[in-house]
Amino acid sequence: MGKQFTLYSFVGSQWAGTAHLALAEKGFTEADYHLEEIDLVAASNFDPKYLEINPNGTVPSLTSPSLDKPLSESTDILRYLDKLKGGRTLVPEDGETKRRVQLILDLVHSSDVDTNVILLQARDAGELNGKKNSPWKQFVTNRQAKLDKERAAHPEHPFYGPKSDENGHLHNLYTTETGPAHESFFTATQERYRTFAEGMAKLEKLLVLPYAAGDAITEADFHVVPWLAHAMEGAGTEPSDKQNFEPLERLVQKSVPGFQVGPSTKKWWENMNATASFQKVYPVLH
C-alpha cells in the first residue's frame, strides 16, 4: 500500500505532538504517509498555499485522498488516525470515560491554559526584556514581516488583515521602549498565570491514574502530553530533564505563591514517560 495521507507538521509545534504520539501508538511507519514540514519560525504557516489547506494557519494539518477536505484540528487528526489503523481505539466508548476525556480535552485546549502566556507574554519589564533578548522576538518579528508582506500582496484575503493586526499588537510591545502602554499587557499576563494555575488544579482533579482517564491510554493523554511538555520547556526546563517541574513551578509562583504541580499530575507524567510512544516522540521536551 502506498502513502495514505500527508501530515503537515513542525517539530516546535505543540499540537503536532498529538498527531505524532498517535502515529507512534497506532504503529504507523514512515512508509504509510508523507511528512511535510511547515516552518513556524519562518512563518511558513502563513503562506497562501498552506492557508488553502488550513485557513487558520495552524499546525498540524492532514490531507488524504480519502477525505472530503483537509483536517486542521489535532482532535480530528488523532481520531482519523485512530480509525484508519484499527486495533485498540484511543477514543473511549464508555460513557463516563468518554465524558472525562472530553473534559480534559476541553481544558487543555482552552485559553485558560494557553502556553503562549509562558512563551510570549511578560508580567513586568524584566520579563519582557528577557523575551526581547530571546529567540521569541525573532519569531514574533518573522511572523509580522510575513503577514505584512502577504497582506500587501493579497489585500482581499480574509486572513491577513485581522492576523496582521493581532500579531502587530504583540510585535509593537516587543519592539518599543517599555512604558505606560505596556502596563495593561503586564496586568493581563499576571491574570493569565493565575488562570493557568487554576487549570493545572482542574487537571489534577480530573486525572484517573495510571493514565489520564484510567487504565488505558486514550486521546486525552496525547493532548495533555504536548501541552505540558511545551509549558515545561518554555518555562526553562532543560529539554533532556523531562521529569523536572521546578522551573515551571517557580515561574507560576511569581503570580501564585505556593503553586505546585499536583502529585497525580506528576505520577501521570512519570507513567507517560515510560511509554514507547512518548519516548519516540519526546526524546527531549519541545
Q: What is the structure's pLDDT at 2?
A: 72
Separation in Å, CA 19 to CA 127, 176, 188, 249: 32, 38, 32, 27
Give the residue among 274, 270, 265 at the shortest CA–CA distance from 208.
265
Is 256 within 8 Å of 195 (Cβ atoms)?
no
Q: What is the DSSP letter of 18?
A: H
Separation in Å, CA 258 to CA 95, 124, 228, 251: 36, 20, 19, 11
CATH class of the domain at 5-85: alpha beta
Non-local (6+) Cβ contacts of 74 within 8 A are: 15, 16, 18, 19, 60, 223
Per-residue pLDDT of the chain (286 residues; tens, 9 = 90+): 578 999 999 999 999 999 999 999 999 999 999 999 999 999 999 999 999 999 999 999 999 999 999 999 999 999 999 999 989 999 999 999 999 999 999 999 999 999 999 999 999 999 999 999 999 999 999 999 999 999 999 999 999 999 999 999 999 999 999 999 899 999 999 999 999 999 999 999 999 999 999 999 999 999 999 999 999 999 999 999 999 999 999 999 999 999 999 999 999 999 999 999 999 999 999 9
Q: What distance in Å separates the CA atoms of residue 113 and residue 76, rounded to the nearest whole number?
A: 20
What global pTM score does this model have?
A: 0.97
Look up residue 253 and give its amino acid. Answer: Q
Helix H or strand E encompassing 235? helix 219-235
Delimit the domains of the chain by residue range: 5-85, 95-281
